[in-house]
Amino acid sequence: MKGTAAKPQRPIARKSRPEPRADRRSSSTHDAILAAAEALVRRRGYIRVTIEAIAAAAGAGKQTIYRWWPSKAALYLELYESLVAVQKLQFDTGSVAGDLRFFLRRLFRILTATPARAILTGLIAETQSDPEVAKALMANLVRGRRHMIRGIFERGQARGEIRANADIDFAVDLISGAVWFRLLLGQALDARFADKLAAQIRHGVGVR
């Protein structure tokens, strides 16, 4: 009886764990970088934070950060916009004074409770020496916030609260200037200031 040659056995395939999706890895790293940037600016202030420190705290490579943000200012501009999101500042109370009070009070609470104030003052300081930062701040932040305040006055005009010939853009400038003056000088941004500013602006452009 002839012996039969033994068939070679196939190696048992081991099930490997699925690799995490690239988008999930990117999302978690992105969030870790923003969280590290927020924690560092809270402790050190904007000027003393470096990209190297953010990368080390987030456990990410410096090149990874620069792949998503061209500069420290760009990174902190995104962080500021997430902390002071437009959705948090919008509410229609039915009156110009009420809308302005809501907007300013909510804005001031966020600036006080989060590192948003430190971020914004740092970004404003950078605009003095970096035209690209100034351009990004204007395009991504200032115009959007101005549009929100302008919308409050336009709704007031539609309701007959605001004079048809009122200089709305100048009123927006007055609000922005008053807020930024206190912001940069480290003065209080509180409910009392919000209410007083809202009342004065409403009086200046309202129907008499």
**CA dist., res. 31 & res. 58, Å (int):** 9
Residue (of 152, 119, 123, 151) closest to 139 by Cα position: 123
Q: Same domain, yes or no, for 189 and 138?
A: yes
Query: Which is more confident, 157 or 140?
Result: 157
Is 96 a member of any domain?
A: yes
Report whether pLDDT(1) > 70: no
**CA dist., res. 44 & res. 46, Å (int):** 7
Q: With bands split at pLDDT 50, 70 and 90, how would you rate the model's confidence at 141? A: confident
Residue (of 37, 30, 185) closest to 114 by Cα position: 37
pLDDT, one tens digit per residue, over 45-54 is: 999 999 999 9
pLDDT, one tens digit per residue, over 10-26 is: 544 444 444 444 444 48
CATH code (residue 62)? 1.10.10.60
pLDDT value, residue 20: 44
Residue type present at position 102: F
**CA dist., res. 134 & res. 12, Å (int):** 62
Report whether pLDDT(180) > 80: yes
Residue type present at position 155: R
Percent of the chain surpassing pLDDT 90: 78
CATH code (residue 101)? 1.10.357.10
Count how many domains the chain has.
2
Is 86 a member of any domain?
A: yes
Cβ distance 83 to 107 under 8 Å? no
Q: Same domain, yes or no, for 187 and 156?
A: yes
Range of the domain at 160: 81-205
Q: Same domain, yes or no, for 105 and 50?
A: no
Q: What is the mean pLDDT of residues 49-64?
A: 96
Is 156 a member of any domain?
A: yes
Q: With bands split at pLDDT 50, 70 and 90, how would you rate the model's confidence at 86? A: confident
Q: What is the mean pLDDT of residues 118-142?
A: 92
Q: Same domain, yes or no, for 138 and 177?
A: yes
First to last CA, the chain: 118
Does residue 186 come out as left (phi exceeding 0), alpha (psi in the -120 to 50 range) or beta?
A: left
Of 7, 34, 68, the last residue of a domain is 68
pTM for the whole structure: 0.82
